[in-house]
Amino acid sequence: MKRIGLLTSGGDCQALNATMRGVVKGLANNVKDLEVYGFMDGYKGLIYSDFRMLTSRDFSGILTRGGTILGTSRQPFKQMRTPDANGLDKVEAMKHTYHKLRLDCLVILGGNGTQKTANLLREEGLNVLHLPKTIDNDIYGTDMTFGFYSAVNIAANTIDCIHTTASSHNRVFIVELMGHRAGWLTLYAGIASGADIILIPEIPYSLEHVIEAVERRRERGSGFTILAVAEGAIPADIAAMSKKEMKKAMAQITEEYPSISYKIAADIQKATGMEIRVTVPGHMQRGGSPCPYDRILSTRLGSECAQLILDEEYGYMVGLDGTEVKKVPLGEVAGKLKNVDPECQEIIDAKRMGISFGD
Amino acid sequence: MKRIGLLTSGGDCQALNATMRGVVKGLANNVKDLEVYGFMDGYKGLIYSDFRMLTSRDFSGILTRGGTILGTSRQPFKQMRTPDANGLDKVEAMKHTYHKLRLDCLVILGGNGTQKTANLLREEGLNVLHLPKTIDNDIYGTDMTFGFYSAVNIAANTIDCIHTTASSHNRVFIVELMGHRAGWLTLYAGIASGADIILIPEIPYSLEHVIEAVERRRERGSGFTILAVAEGAIPADIAAMSKKEMKKAMAQITEEYPSISYKIAADIQKATGMEIRVTVPGHMQRGGSPCPYDRILSTRLGSECAQLILDEEYGYMVGLDGTEVKKVPLGEVAGKLKNVDPECQEIIDAKRMGISFGD
Amino acid sequence: MKRIGLLTSGGDCQALNATMRGVVKGLANNVKDLEVYGFMDGYKGLIYSDFRMLTSRDFSGILTRGGTILGTSRQPFKQMRTPDANGLDKVEAMKHTYHKLRLDCLVILGGNGTQKTANLLREEGLNVLHLPKTIDNDIYGTDMTFGFYSAVNIAANTIDCIHTTASSHNRVFIVELMGHRAGWLTLYAGIASGADIILIPEIPYSLEHVIEAVERRRERGSGFTILAVAEGAIPADIAAMSKKEMKKAMAQITEEYPSISYKIAADIQKATGMEIRVTVPGHMQRGGSPCPYDRILSTRLGSECAQLILDEEYGYMVGLDGTEVKKVPLGEVAGKLKNVDPECQEIIDAKRMGISFGD
Amino acid sequence: MKRIGLLTSGGDCQALNATMRGVVKGLANNVKDLEVYGFMDGYKGLIYSDFRMLTSRDFSGILTRGGTILGTSRQPFKQMRTPDANGLDKVEAMKHTYHKLRLDCLVILGGNGTQKTANLLREEGLNVLHLPKTIDNDIYGTDMTFGFYSAVNIAANTIDCIHTTASSHNRVFIVELMGHRAGWLTLYAGIASGADIILIPEIPYSLEHVIEAVERRRERGSGFTILAVAEGAIPADIAAMSKKEMKKAMAQITEEYPSISYKIAADIQKATGMEIRVTVPGHMQRGGSPCPYDRILSTRLGSECAQLILDEEYGYMVGLDGTEVKKVPLGEVAGKLKNVDPECQEIIDAKRMGISFGD
């Protein structure tokens, strides 16, 4: 007999349903009586005891379905210790729900912030397991997060489409991709679709070098240039400022422009006189059906998570290490971000081929 | 023996290459000596005699390739009668190139503006045939233009992706789709992907009705609402103004917001307090590989165009009428726009199902 | 107040769910009390009174879902008048179910056979409406059936994939596509993906001409040839036989080979010595998510069907005529097949471009 | 100054062009004078000195193109030491071509057989580098081969399509996937798309267990069952035979049936009386545009290969180890196959979820 809780928290992404299916199918075949409680809209459901019991029917046919059957919401970790509007202690409320339902384990699907709260619940004595979800691939302790490759597919497909129109019109195109703090998605989509310039948060760019790269292509007879730009791309001069000044400088930009990409577009246009267009696929990147890579990863993470529950091993994130799924102590990874190392092999590979990072 | 010229003009779209392949393959199998001159970058190539001779190798493997192997540019019809910076008479220059190469026919792929210039060349005595290209499907005299369904696929896929994330987060999403003057793309993509509200240029919207539609869904328990909004969506009060005042009012909006969608988002947010996101797939809609529908349409239009050349029948647009390809006298259609009739069957079908058009 | 029954019969295809959603949404917004009875597994559910009541929740999120939420089965028209194993009169049983539930109308989604039974029920006094479903596009009285373009997409994509491998290896490839009696799917997929030879039931082929076409390509330096072959492709000499002899001759072929394509492959290999491969996408062609074209068509057909129910107009198929949805009296179309006319424009267009049909 | 040769050998797959682009772009940006010789149709081009010089234009726009711009052919390793029909010593001929062109390095893209010949050339004193290409992912010494994930996508998509039709009709479906010796593709595609039974060469199946798995699903109310079966699936009783008898037994099967899948279908049908369909996507699995995963992998492998050439480090395969590209001495890996370990984590993960492997 096992009683488990499931919740999905933070920005949604592909393969959340596939992962939950993995957990539940992995248990259902190995446990006599299984009760699965699905908490609605992330930690909110746990706090306010909003849940429904899930049966195997709920997990049938959801391997390929995007979104999450449980709904999700953003519950900032910072506010977890703050009482809600009615004075409710959220952490106590979550513990209360957990104990009331006599759960054996709470399986939590989410990104960095979600992971921190999961770790907090672990410290509070609950049995938790965390499954690393995010299109950003920025979770420390796992080589890969589910959602990432589905988002790479959408982002790369966007650049592919832009490629044909850019080359027909001899234009400069900026494709702005998701990623405020980590550049994995932009880096991978940029390499996958042959972007000429890739700007990511981890490598502050010099506008001068970006313009040089555009000009160099024009001189060589390539009429068009494609830039893959992360939402969190940052000019080197601003990156060198103090945190306070940096915030101010970035705020100034977003006051004037919808996003950093539009500022870069304006600057390049001014410097080169070329026609520039900006495309922002936006939330599309976290939607739609998960790609087979993510479905396999999610299924395996979910199934291994089930084994941990069977073995009563709690307090871990279930991550990927090379080709193997491994458990990682939550206490060792919570709160850490996995950023792109500017000296990593992917960057060196890309630079060798002439891709500019604006540095 | 036939000598033909090919050019693609205006904004690019999918299936331009497929169409040209249809023309050339249709001729090559039926003419002893065929010379094909490809003019670079639209009418520019014709004006400045910038062309290259194309062989069957150029047309191999391009059925599925997006963009145009000839390049394209926008050459406003209005400026055709105005000399260029060096005082060159453009129309005479085009005629000169045409006669110099002793062309039997000039095959012109393009949208409304392109068609007007094609008709002008016809009036000037050149043998021209026009093939209706545009993702907007707004060319008068043909049921369908090539590029349209490929763009519908991309637009609908965008909304599909947004659907999963919208439903997971209980958010209102606006997907802004191409179409400044005609709403076909937004109408079709909206129906295809189950949008709740569709706003198009032909049906000015009342903000009040849009907000009511959003509220009604919330009351019925649907946590999310998806709006498909054309670039040219227009508030009813502004649409009722004089042309001059309308322009001023719209300019005011685009000064404050990146586009009309952002204004609508701000207004709904203010009125309902709901979280709203805007997604703009932009130029992606005219890029990428043409869908099979477009490849079939393009191949047939191209092949029938070849027959007209074989029959020495010039001065036509080659369009679709039901399931048949038909020739349409250019003089009868040039300068006319095919807009969505607010009383057309598609609109009535959609309204019957509860889709709101904000009117 | 309306009580309607829904059933899907015959081989499944894409957009069955989308069509039912169209009917129900079109009614739900215009009728105070709506009761929807879904019969399971086609006419079987109607005969044996196996149904469940469907609510709006059943129709949420199914616009893009393949298959049918009601299940389907093949119930040959010929056996409808024959009692079942227990001596039950099927037609009387269907009438009994219909009257017992006091249905206002029975909405039937299916192909040719299904349509004949629908017409029989109409003759028996039931209110029926038929919606034309089939990947074969062979239903008389409508320009288009839903499922067709989704199948064309899969079939064309198959040939696209084969194209790259064929050209890398200089091989002859046969792609066998669905269609025992009608060649629409093979014709359209073949044109869409640049097949060199297209063999369909309506144009019996001469093996000699097929081999000539392969040889001609080899002589011109094209190392590979792609044949799109319908399941029902037939050699001209066999097509000229009496019906009885034809059946015998075809049976002999399928005894020796898995299908006609393998026989053609063997014959070409023998005659030319070239390496030949056969690919059979099979049932894949009727599966997966419907394409946007089909979702729009289905939604419109369903919505117009709802209007007919509101207007109490029964006994029709709801079909497409050009760009308009129209009602067609069932009695005028039931039992008729829409075949490819060997002289139709599509065939002429294709032949002009050098595509061989083996005739 | 560098002179390199490129060749693609064995069955084609996706991302061959992307990989070559990686090598050439990686060199072009770092070498003053670069000469690239492309040998046509695999080793054949090297043997018979059939090549063309490639320029940067040849590598523009090929990142997403399937197949290989060089063509390929199968040249069995076993016959490399045997003179050709004209008595030509193939190995000497390859060495001759290599030295005649004064190549610095020969970059060879191919699978297991290709690798063995590459190693032979290394032993003969040529500078070679090998890039691991195959949809089978069975090359020893690398975690991943390019082509694999593109094939997984096509195979999984096939099963996805079959899924909707299987569930609508309550049928058993067998999808036969490529893989005569290794089951990676079938295993991954099966997990990705929720197959119920997966049969691979590495785990001989008991027909009894397969039938039990089908029956068990039927008893539980799941009307349909999907089997993903590798071409090389083998019954346990035959697998237990001596090599000679095994060959004889398998030959007997393929004499009676098109492939092992049809035999399994016949056996299940006989035992259960259920309707069974077989789908064979075949060569489709190695065609079409490479997926973003493969494009990234290929680009990185190619770029790292360029670095080895710059560093004059030869005699390696360039493979993936976890997330890093690493060089592996050809002598250590040539001739070894990477099979699915029946006790590997993927298998255990799948079995935990109730997937049957027939063992």
Q: Which CATH number fits the domain that encloses residue B42?
A: 3.40.50.450
Same domain, yes or no, for B9 and B141?
Answer: yes
CATH number at residue D237: 3.40.50.460
- Note the pLDDT of residue A169: 82
Same domain, D115 and D170: no
3-state helix, strand, coil in chain C (%, to 5): 45, 20, 35
- Which of A161, A172, A175 best tests the B interface by mutation, with the highest count of B CBs <10 A? A161
Q: Which strands sit side by side in the sheet containing D34-39, from one edge to the other?
A: D51-54, D34-39, D2-8, D105-110, D128-132, D316-321, D324-329
Is it the case that residue C152 has pLDDT exceeding 90? yes
By DSSP bridging, strand A225-230 and strand C225-230 are unpaired
List D12, D41, D58, D136, catalytic entry: D136
Residue C285 pLDDT > 90:
yes
Higher pLDDT, A327 or A223: A327
Give the Cα separation of C182 and C186 in Å (integer).
9
Per-residue pLDDT for B170 more than 90? no
Q: Phi and psi for A28 in degrees, rounded to 5?
A: -55, -30
**Domain annotation covers residue B348:** no
Does B44 have pLDDT greater than 90?
A: yes
Contact residues, chain D, for C163 at CB < 8 Å:
66-67, 287
Report pLDDT digits (tens) over D294-323. Answer: 999 999 999 999 999 999 999 999 999 999
What residues of C are in contact with residue D281 (Cβ under 8 Å)?
158, 279, 281, 284
Find the DSSP H helices in D1-111: 16-28, 43-47, 90-100
Return d(Cα B325, Cα B142) in angstroms, integer.
9
CA C117/CA C79 separation, integer angstroms: 10
Confidence at A221, pLDDT banded by 50, 70, 90: confident
Catalytic residues of A: 136
Inform me whether the pLDDT recorded for A317 exceeds 90: yes
In sign, the C-alpha dihedral spanning D80, D81, D86, D88 is positive
Q: Does residue A189 belong to the interface with chain B, where contact is any CB pair within 8 Å?
A: no
The C-alpha atoms of residue B20 and residue B22 are separated, in whole angstroms, by 5
Residues of C in contact with B292 (CB under 8 A): 149, 152-153, 156-157, 188-189, 192-193
**Does residue B165 share a domain with residue B130?**
no
Distance CA C297, CA C242 (A): 40
Query: What average pLDDT does the segment A75-95 reach?
Result: 94
d(Cα A59, Cα A26) in Å, to the nearest integer? 12
B194 touches chain C (CB under 8 A): yes
Query: Residue B287: what pLDDT?
Result: 94
- A173 Cβ under 8 Å from any chain B Cβ: yes
Residues from chain C contacting residue B14 (CB–CB below 8 Å): none
Count of other CB atoms within 10 angstroms of residue D150: 27
CA B346 to chain C, closest CA, distance in angstroms equals 7
**Which of B12, B136, B138, B196 is an active site residue?**
B136
Q: Calculate how close chain B gets to C260, using CA atoms only, in Å.
A: 26
Q: Is residue B282 part of a domain?
A: yes
CB-CB under 8 Å, A66 with B164? yes
Count other C-beta atoms under 10 Å from residue A183's C-beta: 31
**pLDDT per residue as tens digits for the range C324-358:** 999 999 999 999 999 999 999 999 999 999 999 99
Query: C349–B188: do the CB atoms touch at under 8 Å?
Result: no
Q: What's the pLDDT band for A220 if we cut at 50, 70, 90?
A: confident
How many CB atoms sit inside 10 A of residue D292's CB?
A: 28
Q: Does B25 touch chain C (CB under 8 A)?
A: yes
pLDDT per residue as tens digits for the range C154-213: 999 999 999 988 888 888 999 999 999 999 999 999 999 999 999 999 999 999 999 999
Q: Is residue B62 part of a domain?
A: yes
Does residue A355 sit within a domain?
Answer: no
The one-letter amino acid code at D210 reads V
**Phi-psi region at A274: left, alpha or beta (left = phi > 0; alpha = psi -120 to 50):** beta
Q: Report the share of chain B in percent with pLDDT over 70.
A: 100
What Rg value do the Cα atoms of chain A yield, rounded?
A: 22
Cβ contacts (< 8 Å) between B50 and chain A: which residues?
none
**To the nearest whole angstrom, how far is the Cα of C40 from the nearest Cα of chain D?**
10
Do C7 and C132 fall into the same domain?
yes
Rounded-to-integer distance, Cα A66 and Cα A19, Å: 11
Q: Is B242's Cβ below 8 Å from some Cβ in A?
A: no
Cβ(A122)–Cβ(A314) under 8 Å?
yes
What 8-state DSSP symbol labels residue D127? -
Question: Cα distance from B7 to chain A (closest Cα, Å)?
Answer: 12
Q: What does the alpha-carbon distance between residue B159 and residue B163 come to, in Å, rounded to a whole number?
A: 6
CA of A277 to nearest chain B CA: how many angstroms apart?
A: 8
- Check if C38 contacts D (Cβ < 8 Å): no
Give the H/E segment covering residue D31: none
> Are residues B119 and B11 both part of a single domain?
yes
Instruction: Provide the percentage of residues in chain B whose pLDDT is more than 90.
Output: 92
**For residue A170, what pLDDT band results from cuts at 50, 70 and 90?**
confident
Work out the percent of chain C whose per-residue pLDDT is above 90. Answer: 92
User: Tens digits of per-residue pLDDT, D114-158?
Assistant: 999 999 999 999 999 999 999 999 999 999 999 999 999 999 999
Q: How do residues D201-235 score in pLDDT, each as one tens digit? A: 999 999 999 999 999 999 988 879 999 999 999 99
Q: Is residue D351 in a domain?
A: no
User: Do A349 and D26 count as a contact with CB atoms less than 8 A apart?
Assistant: yes
Residue D85 confidence (pLDDT): 93
Chain C residue with the nearest C-alpha to that of B152: C292
CA–CA distances in Å: residue C197 to residues B338, C190, C268, C357, D281: 37, 8, 13, 6, 20
Q: How many domains does chain A have?
A: 2
Does residue B237 surpass a pLDDT of 90? yes
Query: How high is the ipTM of this complex?
Result: 0.96
Same structural domain, B277 and B301: no
Is A278 in CB contact (< 8 Å) with chain B? yes
A14 and A138 fall within a common domain: yes
- Using CB atoms, which residue from A22, A157, A346 is nearest to D353? A22
Structure tokens at D288: 């079409």
- A233 pLDDT band, cuts 50/70/90, is very high
Average pLDDT over residues C278-295: 96
Q: Does B300 touch chain C (CB under 8 A)?
A: yes
Residue with tokens 């004059």: D312
Nearest to A36 by CA among A96, A92, A105, A100: A105
- Whether A77 and A7 map to the same domain: the answer is yes
Of B271, B286, B301, the residue that ends a domain is: B286
pLDDT at D178 over 90: yes
Give the closest-approach CA distance of D19 to chain A in angstroms: 12
Q: Is B136 a catalytic residue?
A: yes
Q: Does C19 touch chain B (CB under 8 A)?
A: no
Residues A51 and A171 occupy one common structural domain: no
Query: Which of C65, C160, C279 is nearest residue D282 as measured by Cβ atoms?
Result: C279
**Mean pLDDT of all residues belonging to chain D:** 96
Q: To probe the interface with D, which of A191, A309, A324 has the most D CB atoms within 10 Å?
A: A191
Ordered alpha helix ranges (H), chain D: 16-28, 43-47, 90-100, 112-123, 148-169, 184-192, 207-219, 236-239, 243-256, 260-272, 292-310, 330-333, 345-352
**In the structure, what pLDDT confidence band is assigned to residue C227 with cuts at 50, 70 and 90?**
very high
State the chains in contact with A (3 or more Cβ–Cβ pairs under 8 Å): B, D
Residue B221 has pLDDT above 90, yes or no: no
D43, pLDDT greater than 90: yes
Minimal CA separation from A270 to chain B, in Å:
19
Candidates D161, D171, D175, D231: best to mutate against C (most CBs of C within 10 A) is D161
What pLDDT does residue D220 have?
A: 87
Task: Identify whether B340 is part of a domain.
Answer: no
**Phi, psi of A130, rounded to the nearest 5 degrees:** -115, 135
Query: Inter-chain contact A156–D350, Cβ cutoff 8 Å?
Result: no
Report the pLDDT value the prediction gives residue D105, as an integer from 0 to 100. Answer: 98
Q: Which amino acid is at B11?
A: G
Across the interface, whether the CB atoms of A29 and D299 are under 8 A apart is answered: no
Residue D87, pLDDT score: 95
Does residue C297 share a domain with residue C317? yes
Does residue A12 sit in the same domain as residue A135? Answer: yes
Among the partner-chain residues D64, D143, D349, the one whose CB lies closest to the CB of A303 is D349
Which of D12, D258, D279 has the CB atom closest to C282's CB atom? D279
Q: How confident is the model at residue B167 (pLDDT cuts 50, 70, 90)?
A: confident
Instruction: Return the bridge partners of D126, or none.
Output: none
Quote the domain boundaries for residue C141.
Answer: 2-147+290-333
Spatial CA neighbour of A63 closest among D223, D154, D193: D193
Name which of A64, A192, A346 is nearest D292 (Cβ-Cβ). A192
Of C66, C92, C359, nearest to C200 (Cα)?
C359
Q: How many CB atoms lie within 10 A of CB D117?
A: 27
Confidence of residue D53 (pLDDT cuts 50, 70, 90): very high
Q: Is B359 a member of any domain?
A: no
Does the pLDDT value for residue B130 go beyond 90? yes
Give dist(CA C268, CA C199) in Å, integer. 14
CB contact under 8 A, D161 and C73: no
Contact D318, C196 (CB under 8 A): no
Distance CA D266, CA D275 (A): 10
Cβ–Cβ below 8 Å for B160 and A277: no
Q: Are strands B316-321 and B276-279 parallel, antiparallel or unpaired?
A: unpaired
Q: Give the burial class of B255: count Cβ atoms within 10 A of its Cβ; 0-12 exposed, 13-18 middle, 19 or more buried.
A: exposed
Give pLDDT, residue D358: 97
Query: Has residue D171 been placed in a domain?
Result: yes
Single residue among C286, C317, C347 that ends a domain in this structure: C286
- The reply to whether C22 and C54 lie within a common domain is yes
State whether the Cα torsion A310-A35-B222-C17 is positive or negative: positive
